[in-house]
Structure 1
């Protein structure tokens, strides 16, 4: 998926001859991309005291990768933990970090807090396709209602 996304973005940038949305490896060799997803895990009914908010992700540079998981209630500072993981892959405070997630604002905000605000957020391809699917369904319903 990542390779396909990279290929499509390069093709778009090449066809438009404008400033690329995502810098290439030659422009910013140490650029980092953070892939995030979150989930709310409910406890069993007999244990009504502990629901968990989990964030899992992967940080990628051009030559390294690091996976992580955070239970927000169990980590003193999720942003601090994420900042340590970013630094382990060569991030410095001047770099913009690209976040790819499902559109939940809390996920890029977690990275934004960790890096001090320099974040570029991109909706992942699956959630883009689901939003397009809603439009396709609405158009199909309108067409079928008009033909009946």
Structure 2
């Protein structure tokens, strides 16, 4: 990594286990240095394994450990080691934490291959501290444990005000409950806007066999479209006032 090194006596010592080997043969149990493992895992977290392997091949004077399958396997080993470590103690307790949890599917382009469901999210404090987490469903990684670890690392205490956001899925609510988040989560602005878009499409399919129904359909579509625009553009307060006025419940505003 740092260029050519000239040794008067070719004797190698493993930085992790302290083993010493004379000659030109590297010990069989010391295939790479901890620094190289850390760099390889860091690149693999930022880009696909094949691209990370190609970058290592171009930049570093190494001949082993840069195949994409090797990079993937060694990165997973580093991830296992990090999962078992004790969370670092935060510098100060957090007064408020925002937790966001969502899920997505990674579908294989090959027939017969497994489709992956990934649960992911992040926690943020009012002071700007942030931790991200993710886990593939039906694997050995517990998403509930990852959530608890992330909350602890940003400074959660018994007095911390915790606010959670999901897409409204009952499965994600169950995950939050198992992670110790008992307060019901909120819908974020994106999923509220998506539900309003669904309502707009539903209203667009209403029958218009009479003039009254045609006028009602046009009014509903226009109103839902305006609400979605307000939510999507960050005008939640205006949207709330509009909904309350349409419901005749000014006291809610």
Q: TM-score, length-normalised on structure 1?
A: 0.64
Aligned-partner Cα distance in 1 for 2:116–2:204: 39
Query: Of 183, 189, 196, which aligns to 1:125?
Result: 189
* Cα gap change, 1:39 to 1:143, in 2 (>3 Å): same
1:99 aligns with 2:147: no
Structure 1: 5+ residue stretches without partners: 1-28
Is residue 123–residue 132 contact of structure 2 (8 Å, CA) maintained in 1?
Answer: yes
Is residue 107–residue 115 contact of structure 2 (8 Å, CA) maintained in 1?
Answer: yes
Name the structure with the higher helix share.
2
Cα RMSD (Å) of the superposition? 2.6
Instruction: Please name the residue that 2:132 is paired with.
Output: 67
* Structure of higher CA gyration radius: 2
Q: TM-score, length-normalised on structure 2?
A: 0.40
Is residue 55–residue 70 contact of structure 1 (8 Å, CA) maintained in 2?
Answer: yes
Aligned-partner Cα distance in 1 for 2:184–2:110: 39
Structure 2: 5+ residue stretches without partners: 1-93, 215-253
Superposition pairs of residues 1-148 of structure 1, within 5 angstroms: 30-48=95-113, 50-63=114-127, 64-93=129-158, 95=160, 97-115=162-180, 117-142=181-206, 144-147=208-211
